[in-house]
Amino acid sequence: MLSTLYPWIKALHIMAVISWMAGLFYLPRLFVYHVERGSDAADMNRVFETMEEKLLRVIMNPAMIVAWASGLTLAAMPWVLDTGAIWPYSKFLALIGMTWFHMWCAKRRRIFALGENTLTGRNYRMMNEVPTVLMVVIVLSVVVKF
């Protein structure tokens, strides 16, 4: 039965990862704009807070959960992972990093909501590179299978 479901679970996993990554790329960018433009007016501040909260709650959190669940389901299929290779471990470590980054973004959103942000637009621009580096590691791990 698992072999019949494999392509469907894999497709679900890919769609969830794409959605999650889109959010991980966009939320820090929203933080940059929030810092640089949101403090100009109370209305703009509220707009940014609403956008950040909805992106995290409606798109990123469900996508992360589905990506993890479908990925673990795929990993449980005996023919999917080569545990003697390095790639499953490098992917897993990068995935842990991606999840940490997601949680960091969620914490930063709460800090914005409390009006206690101390980071600059430059800080958020630099952090915006983290998911890109992790994505490169994950894609190379899965495709090249080193």
How long, in residues, is the chain? 146
Q: Copy the structure tokens of residue 118.
A: 């101390």
What percent of the chain stands above pLDDT 70?
98
Q: Which domain holds residue 66?
A: 2-144
Q: Is the pLDDT of residue 2 over 80?
A: no
Q: Which helix (H) or strand (E) segment is 16 a member of? A: helix 2-37
Alpha helices in 38-129 (DSSP H): 42-54, 61-76, 87-113, 121-127
Question: What's the domain count of the chain?
Answer: 1
pTM of the model: 0.92
pLDDT band at residue 44 under the 50/70/90 scheme? confident
Q: Is the pLDDT of residue 110 over 70?
A: yes
Mean pLDDT, all residues of the chain: 94
